[in-house]
């Protein structure tokens, strides 16, 4: 025969059952949050409904996990009291892509792809404090800054932690004013891949500083790309790292490999591998620029990444001792 439990044991069983039900409700509601994470307005309304989801009854760690699945803008809106604000501030987040664009350059017709957060700033370049708070504890896989003229956003570059950084400028004069050595040295500290249009005012010494910081392990940058660089600057930079280009020939006492890239019968670019970096110097794709400019890229690796054996348009050339 099965003995019936005492009154005390039955009461304890009911208490345990209520705890299990409450835990199941929390799990159910948490799952509902996951399903609603793409529906911003509905999610905020859901979180605000008293009693349906007692978020403040949850431990800090679980609240932090909930914040991590919210879209960035909703996460910031959810900081409704000191506790939630503190939890959000000390947690770490990863965002796929952030675009900071100016109202004058943004169009309602511009597509915003899935996983991309776009912040449109007004002409007086406001929202900088908001962006600073976001940058404090968020890693951005991709960040695009498309603004005209100097602003706090450019000076805040050093506060970001970025995978891929794309810098775009709508005003050439403003670009010349902003993209100088001091800005460049700060930008290379923040990202793994830096993509920029022009390096007109970046000196050979700044590029050399990039190499020294990378070789010493001070920065995480793995790749730099520029669509338009002064060839004179590139040649001076090579000289600083022990490679001389003179009268169409390369001279160096270092162990390097040099390849020429040919497009039919025209020299299209030069590839150099020095054991630590893969460098490419090519003709500018824009016909309005002459041979004083060219594209430049460097990828840091102790292996020769390019060209490979299947790229027959590359021809290895001799390097003469200095």
Interatomic CA distance for residues 70 and 93, integer angstroms: 10
Q: Which residue has the tokens 């911003």?
A: 40
Looking at residue 279, its pLDDT comes to 93
Q: Residue 50's pLDDT band (boundaries 50, 70, 90)?
A: very low
Burial-class residue 32 by CB neighbours within 10 Å (0-12, 13-18, 19+): middle
Taking 60 as the threshold, does the pLDDT of residue 1 lie above it?
A: no
Whether this model's pTM surpasses 0.75: no
Q: What is the pLDDT of residues 130-144, one digit of tens each?
A: 778 888 888 989 988
Concatenated DSSP letters of 204-224: HHHHHHHHHHHHTT-----EE
Q: What is the pLDDT of residues 118-131, one digit of tens each?
A: 777 666 555 667 77
Quick check: 146 and 152 in contact, CB under 8 A? no
Beta strands in 174-318 (DSSP E): 191-198, 223-230, 244-246, 249-251, 257-263, 266-273, 277-283, 293-300, 314-317
Strands 138-147 and 161-169: parallel
Interatomic CA distance for residues 87 and 112, integer angstroms: 29
Looking at residue 307, its pLDDT comes to 64
Looking at residue 11, its pLDDT comes to 46
């Amino acid at each position: 025969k099965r003995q019936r439990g005492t009154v005390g044991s039955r009461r304890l069983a009911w208490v345990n059952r209520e705890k299990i039900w409450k835990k199941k409700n929390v799990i159910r509601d948490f799952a509902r949050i996951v399903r609603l994470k793409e529906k911003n307005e509905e999610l905020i309304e859901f979180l605000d409904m008293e009693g349906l989801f007692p978020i403040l009854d949850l431990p800090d760690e679980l609240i932090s996990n909930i914040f991590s699945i919210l879209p960035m803008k909703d996460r910031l809106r959810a900081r409704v009291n000191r506790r939630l604000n503190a939890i959000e501030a000390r947690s770490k987040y990863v965002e796929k892509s952030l675009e900071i664009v100016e109202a004058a350059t943004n169009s309602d017709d511009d597509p915003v792809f899935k996983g991309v957060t776009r912040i449109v700033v007004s002409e007086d370049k406001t929202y900088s404090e908001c962006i600073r708070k976001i940058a404090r504890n968020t890693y951005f896989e991709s960040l695009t800054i498309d603004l005209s003229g100097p602003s706090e956003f450019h000076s805040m570059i050093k506060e970001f932690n970025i995978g891929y950084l794309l810098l775009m400028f709508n005003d050439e004069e403003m670009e010349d004013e902003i993209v100088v050595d001091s800005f460049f040295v700060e930008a290379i500290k923040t990202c793994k891949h830096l993509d920029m249009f022009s390096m007109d005012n970046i000196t050979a010494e700044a590029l050399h500083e990039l190499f020294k910081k990378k070789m010493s392990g001070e920065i995480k940058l793995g790749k730099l790309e520029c669509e338009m660089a002064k060839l004179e600057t590139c040649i001076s930079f090579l000289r600083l790292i022990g490679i001389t280009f003179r009268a169409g020939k390369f001279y160096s006492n270092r162990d390097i490999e040099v390849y020429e890239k040919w497009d039919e019968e025209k020299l299209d670019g030069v590839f150099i591998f020095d054991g630590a970096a893969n460098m490419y110097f090519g003709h500018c794709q824009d016909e309005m620029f002459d041979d004083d400019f060219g594209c430049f890229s460097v990828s840091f690796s102790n292996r020769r990444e390019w060209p490979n054996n299947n790229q027959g348009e590359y021809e290895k050339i001799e390097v003469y001792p200095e």
